[in-house]
Amino acid sequence: MRKPHPLSLADLRKKYRSTFILNGSPSKREIALTFDDAPDDHFTPLVLDTLKREGVKATFFVVGNRVEAHPEIVKRMVEEGHLLGNHSYNHANLPKISDDEFRKQVIKTDNLIRQYTGYTPSIIRPPYGNIREGQIQWLASQGKKIVNWNVDSLDWKKLTPEQVETNVLAQIQPGAIILLHSGGGKGEDLSCTVQALPRIIKQLRDDGVKLVTVTELLNMSTPTQ
Ligand SMILES: [Zn+2]
């Protein structure tokens, strides 16, 4: 028997609209800055410096094995009031791994986050934005929201700061969830993110936009310690 065709990400997004989120309500002038692949010990501290200077609270989707590698950076994120979400344990392409391995990755990273924050994260962003239907259903049963994005900075492509700024500002709309990165792997360079960030923040504020965390944007109850 032929297997049924898996639904595309766009179809899954339509089918699981309340679980699989790309943006907040367009009726409020609020936007969430999100940083994936955190933490590392080079670019993440630079991003944190800027956010602190500007008084902005952001959302970091952390990778479990990077949390283990850089606990001091995770402590700093928490101390400075940022929100943490789950980005898997080892940045696996989730549709390719077994159900068992998938659940282990989620739970292991949740436990690490709870260790530093005191809360179990209610939000998860799958690496590459990729996820399959059974995984969405399991996350929904756990009361979690999958939070992708609707504005992609493409900052991992070693662009110029101007290109990153343009990619973000050209697509911006109220309720946007902006994808940036703060963790670089070997050979990756996120200097463009670090340099573009103050300009993006200034531009958004000049436009009267409030920068909030993902849970604030989605009116979810804010996790408390
Ligand atoms: Zn990632």
Among the options 70, 87, 91, 181, which is catalytic?
181
pLDDT of residue 2: 62
What is the Å distance from ligand 1's center to 196 Cα?
19
- Report the separation in Å between the CA atom of 54 and the middle of ligand 1, taken as the mean of its atom positions: 25
Element (DSSP H or E) covering residue 86? strand 83-86
Instruction: Identify whether 82 is a catalytic site residue.
Output: no
Q: Are residues 103 and 64 in contact, defined by beta-carbon separation less than 8 angstroms? A: no
**Parts of the chain with a pLDDT under 70:** 1-4, 222, 224-225
How many angstroms does the Cα of residue 87 sit away from the middle of ligand 1? 7
pLDDT value, residue 3: 64
The confidence score (pLDDT) of residue 185 equals 75
C-beta separation of 217 from 30 below 8 A: yes
Q: What is the pLDDT of residue 1?
A: 57
Residue among 5, 36, 70, 207 flagged as catalytic: 36
Ligand 1 centroid vs 106 CA: distance in angstroms? Answer: 14
Task: State how far the Cα of 92 lies from the Cα of 98, in Å rounded to an integer.
Answer: 11
pLDDT tens for 49-87 read 999 999 999 999 999 999 999 999 999 999 999 999 999
At position 62, the amino acid (one-letter code) is V
Instruction: Compute, in angstroms, the gap from residue 36 CA to the centroid of ligand 1.
Output: 5
| AA identity, residue 34 | T
**How much is the pLDDT for 225?**
46
Residue of 208, 214, 205, 216 whose CA lies nearest to 54: 205
